[in-house]
Chains A and B, each alone.
Chain A
Amino acid sequence: AEPAEDGYAGEQDGGCRLYPGHIPTSPLQKALLAAGSALVALYDPYRHDMVAVLGETTGCLVLPNLRDKMKNDPEGSRVLQERPRIRLSTLDVEGLRRLPDGTLGREYLRFLEDNKVSPDTRMPAKFVDDEELAYVIQRYREVHDLMHTMLGMPTNMLGEVVVKWFEAIQTGLPMCVLGAAFGPVRLNARKLQVLATELIPWAIRSGRNANCILNIYYEQRWEQTVASLREEMSIFPPPAVRV
């Protein structure tokens, strides 16, 4: 048999493909992937694909809870039904640029440009064995950048750790918990101090207090100011430290 166009042929062991990009895996494979991706992500945090794989292979217990949280919220269930995706091709970049400073859209665009990141580099889900849950984790990944904007954290190591603490409280995803616990290993003493005394306590308080971050239809709120959205979501304003 010849390989199919994507260089991949034949039946997959363990099941059929539920969505484009889905790779069915046996429990053994998931366990090996989880262990392997954890080690590689720790060794080389810039292997974003490994962080993604870790999230997918360890998230199976938590993702249904997140999906239910979305279902039980009117705005969240709309997101779940309409399945919006944040992509450069669908964003009206110039429109966002024209928005006033302080609005979600303008600040999100500024965040993307300052940190030289793009929503299109987010890996699609591969190892989640449920099509709806695959969307939930995809949405979580795309909302992550918006979290940076909402929390006012840059994409350096310290900023990422703070966002991970917030997300760990909010979502309970094991990957966030691991990232929050092991991320600080790579920070120097001064940063660790700021982290421990100011940033983590704030992230925890905000995470506990806030509504579920997946329940906001961000794409319909570009014109809302970040401050007002923070208040609506009950996220406390960030402490005045340089990150």
Chain B
Amino acid sequence: VYQVFENVAQKYDIMNDSMSLGIHRLWKDVLLHKMNPSPGTLLLDVAGGTGDIAFRFINYVNSVRERQLRRKLKNHQNLSWQEIADSYQEEAVKPFGDSQVVVCDINKEMLKVGRQKAQRLGYSEGLSWVVGNAEELPFGDEKFDVYTIAFGIRNVTHIDLALQEAYRVLKPGGRFLCLEFSQVNNPLLSRLYDLYSFQIIPVLGEVIAGDWKSYQYLVESIRRFPPQEEFKAMIEDAGFLKVDYQNLTSGIVAIHSGFKL
């Protein structure tokens, strides 16, 4: 699996856009809306390689913060000078830095591409890039508010270990969110999807990235992944409560959510 992603790292984003016709962006947006993070949240994004989730998180939290500030300003139109001076003190102590994302990936190449992207797009604060294995995370217990893994868990050899690690590193009250390819529930769409996956995706891989085999592997790993209900049961086995899932695009992808309570 490691070699697959080494080859794939540089062209990862282009391939995602080509294969999903850009729809993967919408799926990731839905994930963030479901997460609905507030400023001050500490996110761990596992298998987050090129940073798609991390950047969206930062944008979301920034816009929430901006709205909060604007609301505060509106309400504070009639403050005394002393109150205004006090509020400057407050904001100096709380810069953006209280929301943070740690992007963790087993593959250095993917992280490198992510860091370069961050620089290019102007994300400087609140981001860390850590090499690590989802089955054995290099973090202490109960550190994070939210754990996400987007299109990464199907590549983990022992999914149950990854789920256990997710449980371990989340604070009590923390949320587990997984965005992953799943089983299509519509028979007609399922046939079209299979045709597209097996006939077209490896060809795209060969033509765009010069790599048929990695994309053949990708299509097969999607088929091997447990369906929605089975995965839900696995998440419950790891100790999460109020586990639920939401199908997107008729089940081509699903968002599974669970809480550590």
A binding-site residues for B, Cβ under 8 Å? 1-3, 6-10, 12-13, 23, 26, 28-29, 32-33, 36-37, 40, 47, 49-50, 53, 126
Contact = CB atoms under 8 A, between A and B. Distances in A.
Given A2-B157, A23-B212, A40-B207, 13 more contacts: A7-B1, A7-B3, A7-B213, A12-B216, A13-B198, A33-B206, A33-B207, A36-B204, A36-B207, A47-B210, A49-B210, A50-B207, A53-B207
Contact of B217 (A7, A47, A50): A7
A8 B216 contact: yes
B216 to A, nearest CB: 6
Contacts of B212: 23, 126
A28 to B, nearest CB: 5
A33 B220 contact: no
A32 B217 contact: no
Main SS at interface, chain A: loop
Nearest to B5: A7
22 contacts: A3-B1, A7-B3, A7-B217, A8-B213, A8-B216, A8-B217, A9-B217, A12-B216, A13-B198, A26-B199, A28-B199, A29-B202, A29-B203, A32-B199, A32-B200, A33-B203, A33-B207, A36-B204, A36-B206, A49-B210, A53-B206, A53-B207
Nearest to B155: A3
A9 B207 contact: no
Main SS at interface, chain B: helix
Given A49-B210, A50-B207, A126-B212, A10 B202 contact: no
Query: For chain B, which range describes its interface: under 10, 10 to 19, 20 to 34, or 35 or more residues?
Result: 20 to 34
Given A29-B202, A37-B207, A9 B157 contact: no
A167 B206 CA distance: 26
Sorted nearest first, the 6 A-B pairs with minimum C-beta distance are A36-B207, A8-B213, A7-B4, A32-B203, A49-B210, A10-B220
Contacts of A8: 213, 216-217
Interface string B128-160: 000000000000000000000000000001000
Interface string B1-13: 1011000000000
A29 B203 CA distance: 7
Contacts of B204: 36
A147 to B, nearest CB: 25
Interface in B197-256: 198-200, 202-204, 206-208, 210, 212-214, 216-217, 220-221, 224
> Which of A3, A28, A37, A49 has the largest number of chain B CB atoms within 10 A?
A3
Contact of B213 (A6, A26, A33, A50): A6
A28 B199 CA distance: 7
Contacts of B206: 33, 36-37, 53
Nearest to B221: A3
Contacts of B157: 2
